[in-house]
Amino acid sequence: MEKTEPKQIPGASVPDKKTSAVTLILKFLKGSKGLFLLSIFFAATMSFLELVNPRLIAYTVDSVLGDREPDLPRIMQRVMDLVGLGDPAFLRPRLYLIAIAVLVVALLSALCRYLFRTFNSRAEERMVRNMRERLYDHIIHLPITWHNRNQTGDIIQRCTSDVDTIRNFLSEQLVTLVRVVILIVLAIWFMAGVHVGLTVVAVLLVPFIIGYSLYFHNKIGESFQHVDEMEGRLSAMAQENLAGVRVVRAFGREKYEKDRFEKMNETYMNTWIHLMKLLSRFWALGDLTSGLQVLLIVLAGAILCVRGELTAGEYIAFISYNAMLTWPVRMLGRVISDMSKAGISIERIRYIIDSVPEEPQAPVPERVPDFSGDITFDHVSFGYEQEEVLRDVSFTLPGGRTLGILGGTGSGKSTLVQLLDRLYDLDADQGAIRIDGVDIRELPRKVLREHVGMVLQEPFLFSGSLEENILLTLERGTGKEQERKEYRQKRLHQAASVAALEDTVRKFAKGYDTYVGERGVTLSGGQKQRTAIAQVLVSRPPIMIFDDSLSAVDAQTDAYIRKQLQKTQAGTTTILISHRISTLMKADLICVLDHGRVAELGTHAQLMEKGGIYRQIYDLQKPEM
Amino acid sequence: MEEKKNTKGKSLPWFGIPALGRFLKPYRRRIAGMVLLGSVSSLIDSIYPLFNKHILNVNVGGMTLKGLPLTLLLYLLILGFQVWDNYITMFLCSRLELWMNRDLRDAVFGHVQTLSFSYFNQNSVGYIHSRVMSDTGKIGELVSWRMMDFVWNFAYILSVVVVMFLTDVRLAMFILALVPIAVLIILFFQKKLVVLNHRVREINATITSDFNEGITGVRSIKALAAEEKLFGDFRGDTKDMEKAAVKTARNSALFSSSVTMFSALALALVLWQGGMLNQQNLMRIGTLSVFLSYALGIMDPIQNVINTLSALITIQVNIERVTRLLGTESDVKDSPEVIRTYGDSFFPKKENWEPLDGHIEFRDVSFRYPDGEEMVLEHFNLDVPQGASVAIVGETGAGKSTLVNLVCRFFEPTQGQVLIDGRDARERSQLWLHSHIGYVLQTPHLFTGTVRENLCYGNPDATDAQIMEALALVSADQVVNRLEKGLDSEVGEGGSNLSTGERQLISFARAILADPRILVLDEATSSVDTVTEKTIQEATKKVTQGRTSFLIAHRLSTVTDCDTILAVKDGKIVEQGTHHELMEQKGYYYQLVMQQYEDEQIASMWGKDA
């Protein structure tokens, strides 16, 4: 990922910061740290409780059924005495009491398991939510220049799969690591409580198991990556074939494609076979070492029993502790190798979080202008990266009047109005844009944008109903529920009727409840543009910009909408961009932009008189008056 | 939407497994081997505790080491055998999975190559792609690992039950009595968790599309100052997600806790009842210990068996989709007689192919798209002599491709005939026809690979000299010269290493190399710079020379020389004639030409004082 330094943004000149990975993680853990600690606590308690029952069984076998002196750990013996189960003689005719004790311990450990998993998931989900919200909030506040520089797919991947990697790291791997370590320590401790020598035999193979687990997991990880890559290639090949079905058929290359796919498929399969070989070897080795370890313990245990150094009950207990040791030890290698992956994801997310948003702190304006005042462009020059787009543009649009902008492709029309809305910012030496005498750089963006309603050339509709889209920015209003509802409906229909949307919507079976956007009904270009117009009209901004917003609408509807606008939006300062003369000719002021320069400026009559580009285009289009 | 339409229809019996018969058949011996070896391994698992019992009863109980070495040697042998057994089973199982995946994927992909265009019109690329890539993988996993899981666990349960009954009927009955209750609990949670997990996945998809919207729609969000509103909506979704995910986790925690509780219940029962038996000298300590380990170990396998069964139900949908796709027949098919003479798409009999001249005639053709309601052609007649050129003009989406679809036999006429060199197109094979067609697409489609591979797409045997000649003809040689590795440069996925104009020129050269008798040019609407546009127009002229050609045109200046121009509006041919005839008519074509003239004039005006 190429990372260019973001351009300095005036009014928001905070240096590019560098958050450390730990700070970032702590930030994400805000509000879930306590939950994580609770989950670890219950995990530890659970592990502890799981070790009690084997001891209880040993006690029963040795002292209750057999006649040996009880040999329980001191705490356990004390608890047993406390509940009146400390005396084997008392228990001998009442075996059901032991069964109940086993059940009680199991119940407690099941309860801990439940609490551990519940707290863990609560912590995990809280943290993921926190991460996602921070990212989303941050991303929508990052400047357009940042969005232009970064690819959508890449950012989305960072917000989804990298977030999942970090989630796994914190909630699964970290917690597992803690649990595994606790389990290993407890198991060894309990085993040592039974017989130290035998414990040494039991852990003899542990370093070896951890070692080869690490080795295999690293190799398996690499192999998995390879498989992923190959799958990606095979998938892309299928995708290309399906998308290019016309070419394949027209050239009669079905056989070639089939052969090619089969070859690639075979290669893909072979990478899997390689991976499976590794896995089977790993598993077989695991089975073998576990089996050998049990063999060693059985051998040593039996010898000790025969020598009288170990009781039958202790022997049984030891075997069950040993079973508890096997899983965590095998797990350890895996967790360690997985954890290394999280570092990359944290780095990728940090890239987003460390980018500076548009308005880190909202500046307090000295004076809020009257937005129905004059708009002045004062020697404005602007460019993206190296390319110059606007050159020394100056004009004044009196408040409440209409400006028409005519220009060819790449003349800078859209840039001009986007500067007015501060989608891009002018540097100090690039001139100034003023509304009612106030430099717009001194205004908080939110305030400015709420007063400047802009309809984009290619408007974006959000997933939701048409109504939700149109009423997107209309404040909820005050008063009774019913009144608010009526008020909103009124505004909806007013805006829609000006945008010539009412008839169209009536044809939809669900009317304004029709679902649009990514997973909804696909609207035509014209319908989208008209929805976007209604969307802006609803909040009645004092300044309105139409950036070629009627290009996909037929001439008749175009005229109708303009007439409606004139009627209902009197007093609104309006900027119209179009390449249809008929759209612009009635404007109070017309600006002809050519390659970033103001080529002509004046009223329709003045420009006709002048006989420049405007006149020539007029003659070609010959709009009906 | 698509999904629903395609999953309708009758459910297959036996979870659809019999429908996979022909794919499983070649591996039936291996499958039998797997089942056998897997069962043996489970059997061994269930007898391990017996070693313990023996050592406890004989050695520990009798305070003697006699016989211990022999016992341990036997243990070692059995362990060795089991490790080998598991290794082989895993080997067989992973191979089975991978082979099944490969076979299924090849079969589905191959079959898709024969399907007609109406199938592609009715199913999105994404949908078909999922059938090829993901369904096949799921089925492969089902018949291998899932099946193996079932065998392992089922065999284990079975052998444990047998061993228990052989050892002590009374205690065995106690444990078995618990099983039905456990099954009920597991089923209850299974069902609930499926629903909950589905909900979590749904919300997750919503959140991903929220991100997508927030990023692609960022300009609109800012212009509308709608950041707060959208962030509020997003927080609503993440809140739902947190709730749903925690609820799911809580249920699954409850589930696993109840299963462990059940194991403990079995353990307690054995300890109590077995202890009493021991006190009455009816059971030895070692035997009791065996039962204790069985009581602890039997709940997990039961859960696994149920998991496998529920996976079977889920994957049934995938099996059905794949078998339905494999059962779909193309609506453009060569008759058996044609295949006998000319071969099919994968095994052509080129020795029987006649040459193709390129005389095409539409005779009384009526046509309706298989998924359409209206006739788009009615009793249409057109004679295109060898070497003539036909232009089809009209607005985007007016249905200009219809005629070309019929010429290429991507679709067949509903009524009437398309004659090629005087014979009905259906009398010869599709591949024969397609081998004589060159197709240059609107958005040129290149395949991942080198420039050479792309150029040779229609003519694998082309020599370098031929390639260079073709490139030079359309001035694409400079494109190749510019590239570092020349003909061996990678074009990237979908040709992404090349510009649109360059891709266009490469696809021209590709068509020329195939030396087709019929040429179809689907002109680009995308804007390329004027120099490239000129080059492309020149190329067009050269390529069409001497070939019967069909031009789907947007720039009307390119079609004035064509022998016939067809103007299409709303899917129907409204005008037909030469440029001059149509201009005189002052109809729709005239209107289109004037409109474009005006646009071009305005565009050129902006360039003037640059």
Selection from B141, B81, B133, B132 nearest residue B110 by Cα: B132
CA–CA gap between residue B191 and residue B199 (Å, rounded): 13
Point out the residue among A65, A160, A255 whose CB comes nearest to the CB of B346.
Answer: A255
Q: Is residue A528 part of a domain?
A: yes
With a cut of 50, say whether residue B5 has pLDDT above it.
no
Q: What angle separates helix A312-353 from helix A95-140, to the nearest 10 degrees? A: 10
CB atoms A255 and B345 under 8 Å: yes
CA–CA gap between residue A302 and residue A432 (Å, rounded): 92
Choice among A141-150, A268-277, B224-233, B300-309 with the minimum mean pLDDT: B300-309
CA–CA gap between residue B148 and residue B144 (Å, rounded): 6
B105 CB-side CA count, 13 A: 30
Buried-exposed string A478-499: b where 16+ CB fall within 10 A, e elsewhere: eeeeeeeeeebeebbbebbebb
Q: How close B13 gets to chain A, by Cα (Å)?
A: 30
Burial class (CB in 10 A: 0-12, 13-18, 19+), B193: middle
CB atoms B222 and A423 under 8 Å: yes
Judge whether B426 and B339 are in contact, CB under 8 Å. no
Q: Is residue A363 part of a domain?
A: no
CB atoms A96 and B272 under 8 Å: yes
Size of interface A-B (CB pairs under 8 A): 386
Q: How far is CA A123 from CA A113, A137, B185, B511, in A?
A: 15, 21, 27, 60
Q: Are residues A515 and A614 in the same domain?
A: yes
Choice among A265-274, A324-333, A401-410, A439-448 with the minimum mean pLDDT: A324-333
Choice among B36-40, B194-198, B476-480, B595-599 with the minimum mean pLDDT: B595-599
Mean pLDDT along residues A226-247: 84
Mean pLDDT along residues A293-318: 85
Q: At B323, which amino acid appears?
A: T
CA–CA gap between residue B573 and residue B570 (Å, rounded): 8
With a cut of 70, say whether residue A26 has pLDDT above it.
yes
Q: What is the pLDDT of residue A85?
A: 81
Point out the residue among B219, B267, B288 whose CB comes nearest to the CB of A423.
Answer: B219
Mean pLDDT along residues B487-500: 79
Q: At A387, which amino acid appears?
A: E
With a cut of 90, say whether residue A375 has pLDDT above it.
yes
- Residue B9: pLDDT band (50, 70, 90) is very low
Selection from A408, A429, A405 nearest residue A417 by Cα: A405
Point out the residue among B95, B246, B271 whose CB comes nearest to the CB of A122.
Answer: B246
Chain A CB contacts of B239 below 8 Å: 129
CB atoms A121 and B249 under 8 Å: yes
Buried-exposed string A49-65: b where 16+ CB fall within 10 A, e elsewhere: bbbbbbbbbbbbbbbbb
Q: How close A540 gets to chain B, by Cα (Å)?
A: 12
CA–CA gap between residue A588 and residue A374 (Å, rounded): 13
Chain A CB contacts of B345 below 8 Å: 252, 254-255
Point out the residue among A243, A302, A453 whose CB comes nearest to the CB of B445.
Answer: A243
Q: What is the pLDDT of residues A502-516, one digit of tens each?
A: 888 888 888 898 888
Name the token pair of A525. Answer: 């270009």
Point out the residue among B87, B219, B264 whose CB comes nearest to the CB of A456.
Answer: B219
Q: What is the pLDDT of residue A589?
A: 94
* Structural domain ending residue among the three candidates A353, A386, A417: A353
Name the token pair of A485. Answer: 């509802």
Q: In degrees rounded to 5, what are phi and psi of residue B585? A: -60, -25
Q: Is residue A477 part of a domain?
A: yes
Q: How close A341 gets to chain B, by Cα (Å)?
A: 22
Q: What is the pLDDT of residue B1?
A: 34
Q: Are residues A524 and A585 in the same domain?
A: yes
Selection from B10, B48, B13, B15 nearest residue B318 by Cα: B15
Q: What is the pLDDT of residue B4?
A: 38
Q: What is the pLDDT of residue A1?
A: 35
Q: What is the pLDDT of residue A520?
A: 63
The ipTM value here is 0.79
Q: What is the pLDDT of residues B314-352, one digit of tens each?
A: 788 888 889 989 988 888 888 888 888 888 888 888 888
Q: Are residues A446 and A515 in the same domain?
A: yes
Q: Are residues A297 and A433 in the same domain?
A: no
Point out the residue among B106, B346, B608 whose CB comes nearest to the CB of A265.
Answer: B106
State how many domains chain A has: 2
Q: Are residues A305 and A386 in the same domain?
A: no
Other C-beta atoms within 10 Å of B606: how many? 22
Residue of B50, B51, B193, B222 to mutate for A, most A C-beta atoms under 10 A: B222
Q: Are residues A312 and A381 in the same domain?
A: no
CB atoms A284 and B271 under 8 Å: no
Q: What is the pLDDT of residue B7?
A: 40
With a cut of 60, say whether residue B526 has pLDDT above it.
no
Q: Are residues A344 and A473 in the same domain?
A: no
Q: How close A337 gets to chain B, by Cα (Å)?
A: 24
Q: How far is CA B264 from CA A88, A113, B525, in A?
A: 22, 14, 72
Point out the residue among B223, B238, B457 whose CB comes nearest to the CB of A251.
Answer: B457
| Per-chain mean pLDDT for chain A | 84
Q: What is the pLDDT of residues A376-426, one digit of tens each?
A: 999 999 987 667 889 999 999 999 899 999 987 778 888 899 999 998 888
CB atoms B129 and A242 under 8 Å: yes
CA–CA gap between residue B14 and residue B16 (Å, rounded): 5
Residue of B44, B219, B278, B279 to mutate for A, most A C-beta atoms under 10 A: B219
- Residue B235: pLDDT band (50, 70, 90) is very high
Q: What is the pLDDT of residue A83?
A: 83
| Per-chain mean pLDDT for chain B | 84
CB atoms B227 and A141 under 8 Å: yes
With a cut of 60, say whether residue B410 has pLDDT above it.
yes
CB atoms A243 and B125 under 8 Å: yes
Bigger pLDDT: B234 vs B512: B234
Residue with tokens 């070492």: A289
Q: How close A112 gets to chain B, by Cα (Å)?
A: 9
Phi-psi domain of B353 (left: phi exceeds 0; alpha: psi -120 through 50; beta: other): beta
Point out the residue among B64, B90, B434 whose CB comes nearest to the CB of A306.
Answer: B64
CB atoms B65 and A616 under 8 Å: no
We report the CATH number of the domain holding residue A396 as 3.40.50.300
CB atoms B253 and A113 under 8 Å: yes
Q: Are residues A293 and A403 in the same domain?
A: no
Q: What is the pLDDT of residue B154?
A: 92
Selection from A176, A475, A178, A499 nearest residue A338 by Cα: A176
With a cut of 50, say whether residue A625 has pLDDT above it.
no
CA–CA gap between residue A202 and residue A299 (Å, rounded): 11
CB atoms A247 and B258 under 8 Å: no
CB atoms A125 and B241 under 8 Å: yes
With a cut of 60, say whether residue B108 has pLDDT above it.
yes
Q: What is the pLDDT of residues B151-163, one digit of tens each?
A: 999 999 999 889 8
Q: Are residues A499 and A469 in the same domain?
A: yes
Considering Cα of A135, then A141, then A146, then A150, what sign does the dihedral take? positive
Q: Are residues A346 and A411 in the same domain?
A: no
Q: What global pTM score does this model have? A: 0.73
Q: What is the pLDDT of residues A319-373, one digit of tens each?
A: 878 877 877 777 776 677 677 667 778 888 999 999 888 875 566 777 788 888 8
Q: Tell me the residue range of the domain where A216 lies.
A: 21-353
Q: How close A387 gets to chain B, by Cα (Å)?
A: 15
Q: Is residue A501 part of a domain?
A: yes
Point out the residue among B51, B55, B90 whose CB comes nearest to the CB of A280.
Answer: B90
CB atoms A136 and B214 under 8 Å: yes
* Structural domain ending residue among the three candidates A353, A388, A407: A353
Q: What is the pLDDT of residue B205?
A: 85
Chain B CB contacts of A449 below 8 Å: 222-225
DSSP B352: G
Q: What is the pLDDT of residue A111?
A: 94
- CB under 8 Å to A166, separation ≥6 — which residues? A25, A28, A131, A342, A345, A346, A349
CB atoms B242 and A247 under 8 Å: no
Q: Are residues A443 and A329 in the same domain?
A: no
Judge whether A77 and A58 are in contact, CB under 8 Å. no
Q: Are residues A420 and A339 in the same domain?
A: no
Name the token pair of A165. Answer: 């990697």
Choice among A154-158, A284-288, B103-107, B599-603 with the minimum mean pLDDT: B599-603
Q: Is residue A536 part of a domain?
A: yes
Give the residue from chain A lying closest to B88, CA to CA. A280
* Structural domain ending residue among the three candidates A353, A385, A419: A353
Judge whether A66 and A313 are in contact, CB under 8 Å. yes
DSSP A612: S
Q: How close B44 gets to chain A, by Cα (Å)?
A: 12
Count of residues making up chain B: 610
Judge whether A3 and A351 are in contact, CB under 8 Å. yes
We report the CATH number of the domain holding residue A38 as 1.20.1560.10
Q: What is the pLDDT of residues B169-211, one digit of tens each?
A: 888 888 888 888 888 888 888 888 888 988 998 898 889 888 9
- Residue B2: pLDDT band (50, 70, 90) is very low
CA–CA gap between residue B517 and residue B358 (Å, rounded): 6
Q: Is residue A367 part of a domain?
A: no
Chain B CB contacts of A95 below 8 Å: 271-272, 275-276, 279
**Which helix (H) or strand (E) covers residue A593, if one does?**
strand A589-594
Give the residue from chain B lying closest to A292, CA to CA. B76
Considering Cα of B429, then B432, then B437, then B441, what sign does the dihedral take? positive
